[in-house]
Amino acid sequence: MDQLIYATEVLLNGLMTGVMYALVALGFVLIFKASGVFNYAQGVLALFAALTLVGIQQGQIPFAHMINAMFGTHLETFGWTVPSLVAILLTAMVMVVLAFLIEKLVLQHLVGQEPIILFMATIGLAYFLEGLGDVMWGADIKTLDVGLPQGISETIEGVTADWFGYGFFIDRLDLWATAIAAALVAALVAFAQYTKQGRAMRAVADDHQAALSVGISLRFIWVMVWSIAGFVALVAGIMWGTKSGVQFSLSLIALKALPVLMLGGFTSIPGAIVGGLIIGVGEKLFEFLIGPMIGGATENWFAYVLALIFLVFRPQGLFGERIIERV
Amino acid sequence: MIYREAGDFKTGYREDGQTFPIKLDRWAYYGVLAVAFGIIPFVINDYWASAVLVPFLIYAIAAMGLNILTGYAGQVSLGTGGFMAVGAYAVYKLMTAFPDVNIVIHILLAGFVTAFVGMLFGLPSLRIKGFYLAVATLAAQFFLVWLFNKVPWFYNYSASGQITAPERTFLGEAVTGPASSAPAKYLICLGFAFVLAWLARNLTRGMLGRKWMAIRDMDIAAEIIGVNPLGAKLSAFAISSFFIGVAGALLFAVYLGAAEVGEAFGINKSFLVLFMIIIGGLGSIFGSFAGAAFLVLLPVLLKNLLVGSLGWPTDLAAHLELMIVGALIVFFLIVEPHGLARLWALAKDKLRLWPFPH
């Protein structure tokens, strides 16, 4: 009985992690659908966004480290702090500019290349952004605080203690993150379904040339999609950054989103959500039930192996479009 | 005038099909070999061996391995780091379990162990293709690293979780362990690189290589003309993993001496080798060497320039290096998706017509 209650707690935590995975995976799916680019840099975008947010918030001077090394000065900060909301807005603007630059400098020159070349280009982009983030804002681990509540949720602990005689440990930050991620996912789905730009985006995803012929600007859609992906990355960066500090490991959440995508199918928004939940719950439960028997820390690989086994039976993922190959 | 096929008459198919059909190329090749085997071992010092030449040769082997899989057979793999770890841990277990057997045999056996593991993880490639496969190979990367971390048998229950190479000799010279000299390390890596490059070149232009390329270009079409996809894909995984396993074994035993799996064989290693073959050129043995040389030399040069000459802090230099490598990869993909090997081929074509280009 106790075991079952613990498992329920693990399940809830897994669901909440799953929503976060779904959020990151959604950034991938949006770009993949609209431009056929499998964007490996999504995780580094999240890291970059979080670094920029902290930098702006604390009034750091960009490239201070490099300027100091070049000219022997001792610059550190502007000496002001920016309110969280303003900083978030400024960071969102930076992400839009970044999206524009990526389109202009990279993607535009790679139109019509094979998907695998585009994928490798985004790996290069990821390295570049990782280095840029470090050079701009310094590589030390930063704490991010935008005023989200943290710590154990007493309400839930109290209620569950009344019901089962055991209080569930659930972080308030996780609750908030889940709520925000769920809202964002809903907003993105609504955007794709009901707005003019969303419809144009789906048209581009469906067929580039047909979309061009009815007067949709591919370039605008791409910049827009990368901006949205940047915004999603910002939200993901805020959540994960608040939870575990802004550091390099933040960019690894992108790697976690990959099995989510494989499970859900690269082209499906519902797939990303369901896949995220399956992976989130699956890895937490596996770690809880089987982990202690085989040495723990199974979360590193469980998602991949699950996705691998799953794909052998259904190569296009849960909701992906059926792959039809012709000679 | 000088760089010509003209005047170099071939009297048999054998000569006609040789790797270097142009005389000057052949001479250059023999010249490079003569310098590599005959001169460098006598002048090499510790700095050059450990900073440049030994890592270059080891990564060239790994890059050849990945190039067989990705460049020739078209199966993108992000599991290189994991497979290198298999080679390293295999050679470690063999070295400590059978101390009397020659180290070269151990390294080869480590290659075969890796080939087997590679085939195992290659099995899904029959069903999974493209991106899905690339991500699926990440399963190998993370699972293998986790395995070597968590199962103490692999690191002989050592307290630190590290593996350390004991001293082993080859022809009376210590090649592993702290007592090994720079020429010995260099020569054993060079020997492996030379033999494996010869093997790779001849495999890829034979029947097997053509099967791989047919699968790469379009697997369904290849199947229709009679290429067995199971055999072709699994052989690509096996041979590629053999190369990568040997590289991993050399990296651990000869170059690093001691290794911790997450640090030495993490996902970054997978990307590094992938970058080497992108920059060097997919589907080219020369490209594997060029790419390895480029990415081994670039950090050394940058470090010398930024830290040595300009006096910048090391961490800043490391971050700038990331930026430069990333930007270079994007640049190469835009300007020359076929890499350094293609540039080299273009230069040679120009040279063939020089000085009368019309």
What average pLDDT does chain A have? 81
Over residues A97-132, the pLDDT tens digits come to 998 998 888 888 887 777 777 888 888 898 899 888
Does any domain span residue B102? yes
Give pLDDT, residue B203. 92
Residues from chain B contacting residue A296 (CB–CB below 8 Å)? 150
A241 pLDDT exceeds 60?
yes
pLDDT value of position B341: 87
pLDDT of residue B358: 67
- Examine residue B244 and state whether it is found in any structural domain, yes or no: yes
Residue A280 is predicted with a pLDDT of 86
Q: Do A304 and B138 touch (CB under 8 A)?
A: yes
**Contacting residues of B for A128, CB less than 8 Å apart:** 322-323, 326-327, 330
Chain B residue with minimal CA distance to A70?
B312
Contact residues, chain A, for B127 at CB < 8 Å: 311-312, 315
Chain B positions touching A73 (Cβ under 8 A) are none
Q: Is B332 a member of any domain? A: no
Cβ separation of A305 and B151 shorter than 8 Å?
no
Q: Give the model's confidence band at A1: pLDDT under 50 very low, under 70 low, under 90 confident, else very high.
A: low
The verdict on a CB contact (< 8 Å) between B151 and A300 is no
Q: Does A294 touch chain B (CB under 8 A)?
A: yes
Give the three-class secondary structure for B21.
coil
Whether pLDDT at A299 is above 80: no
Per the CB < 8 Å rule, is A38 touching B131? yes
Per-residue pLDDT tens over the stretch A148-164: 777 776 777 777 777 77
* Half-sphere exposure in the Cβ direction for A283 (13 Å, CA): 24
Query: What does pTM read for this prediction?
Result: 0.87
Which residues of chain B from 213 to 242 reach within 8 Å of chain A, CB to CB?
218, 220-221, 224
Which pLDDT belongs to residue B34?
A: 92
Q: Does B334 touch chain A (CB under 8 A)?
A: yes
Nearest residue in chain B measured CA to CA from A291: B150
How many angstroms separate the CA of residue A108 from the nearest CA in chain B? 10
Q: Which residues numbered 201-240 in A keep a CB inside 8 Å of some CB on B?
A: none
Residue B221 lies in a domain: yes
Tell me what pLDDT residue B111 has. 95
Considering the domain boundaries, does residue B336 fall inside one?
Answer: no
Asked if the C-beta of B120 comes within 8 angstroms of chain A's C-beta atoms, the answer is no
Please give the pLDDT value at position B340. Answer: 87
Domain-located, residue B306: no
Average pLDDT of span A15-34: 80
Distance between CA atoms of A46 and A126, rounded to whole angstroms? 11
Side-chain half-sphere exposure of A57, counting CA atoms within 13 A: 18
Whole-Å CA distances, A237 to A6, A28, A94, A135, A176? 29, 15, 14, 18, 14
For the stretch A232-245, what's the b/e string if a residue is b when 16 or more beta carbons lie within 10 angstroms of its beta carbon?
Answer: bbbbbbbbbbbbeb
CA distance linking residue B300 with residue B150, whole number of Å: 34
C-alpha span between A130 and A140 (Å, rounded): 13
Q: What is the mean pLDDT of each run of 10 residues along chain B (358 residues)?
A: 75 83 85 90 86 92 94 90 94 90 92 94 83 82 88 84 84 80 90 94 92 91 91 94 95 88 86 89 90 90 81 79 86 84 87 77
pLDDT, one tens digit per residue, over A80-97 is 777 878 888 988 999 999
Grouping H, G, I as helix, E, B as strand and the rest as coil, residue B171 is coil
Distance between B61 CA and the closest CA of chain A, angstroms: 21
The answer as to whether B276 is a domain residue is no
Cβ–Cβ contact B302 with A under 8 A: no
CA distance A123 to B322: 12
Q: Does A163 touch chain B (CB under 8 A)?
A: no
Contacts of A120 in chain B (CB under 8 A): 274, 278, 329, 333
Which residue range(s) make up the domain with B149?
Answer: 21-266
Scan for tokens 């989103």, then name that residue: A257
Looking at per-residue pLDDT, the higher value among A147 and A182 belongs to A182
Q: Give residue B201's pLDDT.
A: 92
Nearest CA in chain B to A305: B139
Q: Is A266 part of the contact surface with chain B (CB cutoff 8 Å)?
A: yes
Domains of chain A listed by start with CATH number: 2-313 (1.10.3470)
Q: Tally the residues of chain A.
A: 327
Q: Is the CB of A311 less than 8 angstroms away from the CB of B129?
A: no
pLDDT of residue B192: 94
pLDDT digits (tens, 9 = 90+) for B234-283: 999 999 999 999 999 999 998 988 888 888 898 889 989 998 998 888 88
Helix (H) or strand (E) holding A243, with range, is: helix A218-244
Alpha-helix runs per DSSP H in chain B: 13-16, 23-34, 40-43, 46-48, 54-66, 80-97, 103-122, 130-150, 182-204, 207-217, 219-224, 229-250, 261-264, 267-280, 285-303, 314-335, 339-353
Number of independent structural domains in chain B = 1
Residues in chain B: 358
Residue to mutate among A128, A247, A290, A293, with most B CBs inside 10 A, is A128
Residue A213 above 70 pLDDT?
yes
A144 against B241, higher pLDDT: B241
Determine, for residues A266 and B124 on separate chains, whether the beta-carbon distance falls below 8 Å. Answer: no
Residue B71 lies in a domain: yes
Q: Residues 107-126, chain A: which have Cβ within 8 Å of B? A: 109-110, 113, 115-117, 119-121, 123-126
| DSSP conformation letters of A96-112 | HHHHHHHHHHTGGGGTT
